[in-house]
Amino acid sequence: MKVRLSIMCALMVFTSSNAMASSAVAIPEGMGPLPEKVDVPANNSMSAAKIELGKQLYFDPALSKSGNISCNSCHNLGSWGVDNQMRSIGHQWQRGGRNAPTSFNAAFWSAQFWDGRAPLLEDQAKGPPMNPVEMADDDADMLVARLQQAGYGPLFDKVFGKKGLNFDNMAKAIAAFERILLTPNAPFDKFARGEGDISPAAKRGMEKVAEIGCTSCHSGPLFTNNTYQQFNYGVDAGRKEVTGNDGDDHYFRVQSWRNVAMTAPYFHDGAVESLDEAVRIMAKAQLDVTLSKAEIADIVAFLKTLTGEVPSVTYPVFPRPAGKALDFRD
């Protein structure tokens, strides 16, 4: 329906040469611009104060035991929500188990982490602080005590009411901030709305991914159907580690193509350095299609049109106690 609408729009504004170009190639079924709104859980309504608090927490390394690691360390908003590392560097320079997924548009996924072990952003935000190879807090009490010491108490009270500073509310505030981390207006989105064009190579790539079946999983405006699919690559058991079911062996959440050109390196192990190679491997592994170099180049040209606009974020000032050091530990 969305597709038909956007094509109609393109026809309606036929005096625009861009729109004319857009209408020359049909957009495959299901594809469309990034949705404008995300679902918000009933128990975590959005407010400006909550988003601001969530932003402070997102950027504040005081969430980590060492005081050295923030959410933004691995999900850097300056580099499309990732750290461009194969596997992220955490507490004591330990490496994480999987490549850091982007925080941009994460509000749209049906579950978080490569294995989907966190249903909501609120659940995800509790993971890294407690992970011994990431922020390495001993427990939630330690983290809450440090946030209290840092002066976050009054800010939580303002948002969540009296004695509002706790682990759940920390996660809620971060999740609220993450729900504004959307990247609309990618070249493809403008093309789909009849407001701009994409290159002939990108159009060939767009048709190719539909033709060979990539879009049976990387479907819809998010370019993921938000399901788990088997990917027989590497040694990581994926979702089986969560469910314990052999049937989930090597299953991973289908990743979105949104901003994929900007989030190298690729796959859950981050071992693939180029998007060309990632496309080649996926087509062979999942669809048994051997793509030519020209076809790969076309598909990559299309994927590059899915790089959106990063929202403007004013860097926050963290609360800190005047004249006192915080209790950071190695």
Nearest residue (CB) to its own copies, 237 versus 261 = 261
Alpha carbons 153 and 150: distance in angstroms, whole number: 8
Four-residue CA torsion sign, 102, 103, 109, 112: positive
- Please give the single-letter amino acid code of residue 87: R
CB of 256 to its own copies, least distance (A): 16
Contacts of 171 (CB under 8 A, 6+ apart): 121, 122, 123, 125, 126
Buried b (16+ CB within 10 A) or exposed e, 18-29: ebebbbebebee
Nearest residue (CB) to its own copies, 159 versus 278 = 278
Element (H, E) at 154: helix 153-160
CB of 217 to its own copies, least distance (A): 20
Nearest residue (CB) to its own copies, 214 versus 275 = 275
Nearest residue (CB) to its own copies, 85 versus 229 = 85
CB of 215 to its own copies, least distance (A): 19
Cis-peptide, bond into residue 265, ω within 30° of zero: yes
| Given 134, 178, 195, 295, the catalytic residue | 134
| Token pair belonging to 235 | 């040694």
Alpha carbons 254 and 267: distance in angstroms, whole number: 11
Angle between helices 153-160 and 167-178 (to 10 degrees): 70
CB of 170 to its own copies, least distance (A): 17
Angle between helices 275-287 and 293-304 (to 10 degrees): 110
Residue pair 258/186 in contact (Cβ under 8 Å)? The answer is yes
Nearest residue (CB) to its own copies, 235 versus 322 = 322
CB of 64 to its own copies, least distance (A): 10
Does the annotation mark 52 as catalytic? no
CB of 164 to its own copies, least distance (A): 21
- C-alpha dist (Å) from residue 184 to 44, 166, 236: 23, 33, 32
The site for its own copies (CB under 8 A) is made up of 56, 59-62, 66-68, 73, 76-80, 83-86, 89, 92-93, 261-262, 264-265, 273-276, 300, 303-304, 307, 310, 312-318, 320-326, 328
Nearest residue (CB) to its own copies, 180 versus 261 = 261
If DSSP codes are grouped into helix, strand and coil, which group holds residue 82? Answer: coil
Nearest to residue 74, comparing CAs of 6, 135, 157? 135
Q: Which residues are catalytic?
A: 134
